[in-house]
């Protein structure tokens, strides 16, 4: 019993020490995670053009194997880059307000990039939530930096529901 009690007190002591040393008053240890998104973004620019039409293949179709879900299938967006300077990023954003869906993916642009493909995983919805034969979607692709956000592609698309 005495051994268990010592282990409990040691655990409490370690937790208190970590809280004190990482707190705002002492601040010896920084336990905050590294933020990649904002840290990777800087001043910069890139000439970018979208290859193809990412909104053309947006579709909602049935899940397989009796899953009782429907999937919003989001096609990849391919972007051709030139004259890359500094640290900017590409932002691919898809919104389907009728389903309360919004998703973004980013890619930090480097001078080596000539063509970038931005991908999103399908999104599952319970089958009973899909009530319409089609939904409106907005697709945007932008080049972002601390200096500015420049939209290079915007489309309002109709998302058909395949049953």
Residue 91 CB contacts under 8 Å (≥ 6 apart), including other chains: 104, 105, 106, 140, 141, 142, 143, 144, 149
| Average pLDDT of the segment spanning 5-31 | 76
Q: Count of domains in the chain?
A: 2
Residues facing 103 on adjacent strands:
94
pTM of the model: 0.70
Rounded CA-CA distance 161/163 in Å is 6
Helix (H, G, I), strand (E, B) or coil at 153: strand
- Beta carbons within 10 angstroms of residue 94's beta carbon: 25
Give yes or no: residues 26 and 51 share one domain. Answer: no
Give yes or no: residues 13 and 62 share one domain. Answer: no
pLDDT of residue 42: 64
Give yes or no: residues 52 and 104 share one domain. Answer: yes
For residue 27, what are the domain limits? 1-32
pLDDT digits (tens, 9 = 90+) for 113-131: 788 889 989 888 888 888 8
Residue 38 pLDDT greater than 70, yes or no: no
Give the range among 16-25, 68-77, 99-108, 123-132 with minimum mean pLDDT.
16-25
- Give all strands (DSSP E) within the chain, no chain letters: 44-51, 59-62, 69-73, 77-86, 88-96, 101-109, 115-118, 123-126, 134-144, 149-162
Give yes or no: residues 140 and 72 share one domain. Answer: yes
Give yes or no: residues 53 and 71 share one domain. Answer: yes
pLDDT of residue 94: 93
Give yes or no: residues 24 and 95 share one domain. Answer: no
Confidence of residue 13 (pLDDT cuts 50, 70, 90): confident
pLDDT of residue 26: 59
Task: Output 33 or 117, whichever has higher pLDDT.
Answer: 117
pLDDT of residue 141: 92
Residue 61 pLDDT greater than 80, yes or no: yes
| Average pLDDT of the segment spanning 4-22 | 83
Q: CA–CA distance from 104 to each of 27, 35, 65, 77, 93 (Å)?
A: 34, 17, 29, 12, 4
Give yes or no: residues 20 and 72 share one domain. Answer: no
């Amino acid at each position: 019993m005495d051994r268990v009690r010592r282990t409990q007190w040691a655990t409490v002591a370690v937790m208190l020490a970590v809280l004190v040393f990482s707190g705002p008053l002492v601040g010896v240890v920084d336990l905050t995670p590294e933020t990649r998104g904002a840290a990777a973004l800087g001043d910069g620019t890139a000439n970018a053009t979208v290859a193809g039409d990412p909104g053309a293949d947006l579709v909602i179709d049935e899940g397989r194997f009796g899953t009782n879900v429907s999937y919003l299938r989001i096609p990849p967006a391919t972007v051709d880059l030139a004259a890359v300077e500094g640290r900017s990023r590409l932002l691919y954003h898809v919104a389907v307000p009728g389903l309360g869906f919004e998703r973004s993916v980013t890619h930090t642009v480097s001078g080596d990039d000539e063509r970038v493909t931005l991908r999103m995983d399908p999104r599952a919805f319970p089958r009973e939530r899909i009530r319409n034969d089609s939904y409106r979607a907005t697709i945007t692709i932008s080049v972002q930096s601390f200096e500015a956000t420049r939209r290079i592609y915007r489309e309002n698309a109709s998302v058909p529901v395949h049953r």
